[in-house]
Structure 1
Amino acid sequence: MIGLCLGLAGVVWAELPVPAFTLAWRHTIEKIRWEEDYRVTAEGLLLGEARVKGSGAGMEIPADAELREGSWHYQRQLAPLQPLRLGRTPEAGDYQLCFNQRCRSMSDWLGPPQATQPTVELWSCELGSPLSVNDAGNG
């Protein structure tokens, strides 16, 4: 079964048996929520729709974005990401992973962000051991 792996340099720290997820975070300066929807495929993580509640420093809204329900919605055409590399530091706060209609902090699987480990990678992987969503911290 293919799922989502979290770790660094190919070393798996956590496995999640999910076919899709939303990655969410707050912009470090503007404090505006940003969300990106991904599908987990054998080729990598495929970005679908993205949403942002407003613009600001480094947060330009694409020209083709549509304002719906208080957020700008848009899509980018990117090749599957394998891996998706994220900066994760105590100063910036943590990311959330959302699936099965729930959002949880990445800290639930990886512990809090640490200055000594400022990067995490997400990639699609063949799951090594069968985990249930409950085992993955989403009970």
Structure 2
Amino acid sequence: MIGLCLGLAGAVWAQVPTPVFTLAWTHTIEKVRWEEDYRVTPEGLVLGEARVKGSGAGMEIPHGAELREGSWHYQRQLPPLQPLRLGRTPEAGDYQLCFNQQCQWLSAWLGPPQASQPAVELWGCELEVASSPRPRTF
């Protein structure tokens, strides 16, 4: 079964058994929520629709975006991302991973953001049926 792996440099820290998810975060300066929908494929993470609640410094609304229900909705044509690298520091806050109609902070899988580990990568992977406690699957 294909799912989502979380880790760095190919080392798996956690596995999430979902073929689709939304990545959400709050812009550190403008305090505006961003959301991106992804589909997990063997080639990588395919970005679908994205949404942002407003604009501001360094976060212009993309051309062709439509305002619906208080958010700008748009799509970008990108090749599959494998891996998707995220900056993750205590100062910037954490990301939320949403699937099965629930959102959880990445810290639920990885612990809180740490300055000594300022990044995490997400990629599509075949989930292991593990008998050992690591990597964790949720």
**Short-chain TM bin:** over 0.9
- Secondary structure in structure 1 of the residue aligned to 2:72: strand
CA deviations on 1:43-65 (whole Å, 9 max, x unpaired) are 00000000000000110001200
Matched residue, 1:107:
107
What corresponds to 2:80 in structure 1?
A: 80
Shift of residue 129, structure 1, vs aligned partner: 1.9
Q: What SS does the aligned partner of 2:15 have?
A: strand
Structure 1 distance, partners of 2:129, 2:107, is 21
Q: Match for residue 57 of structure 1?
A: 57
Identify unmatched segments of 5+ residues in structure 1: none
- 1:20-39 matched pairs, under 5 angstroms: 20-39=20-39
The CA RMSD over aligned residues, in Å, is: 1.2
Give the match's secondary structure for 1:114: coil
TM-score under structure 1 length normalisation: 0.93
SS in structure 2 opposite 1:5? strand
Q: In structure 2, what is the equivalent of residue 17 of structure 1?
A: 17
- The alignment of Structure 1 onto Structure 2 pairs a total of residues equal to 133
**Unaligned runs of at least 5 residues, structure 2:** 132-136
Q: Give the letter for the 1:14 counterpart.
A: A
Moved beyond 3 Å, runs of 4+: none
Matches of 1:17 and 1:43, distance apart in 2: 17
CA distance in 1, matches of 2:21, 2:90: 23
Alpha-carbon separation, structure 2, partners of 1:130 and 1:65: 43
* Identity within the alignment, %: 80
Question: What amino acid maps onto 2:58 in structure 1?
Answer: G
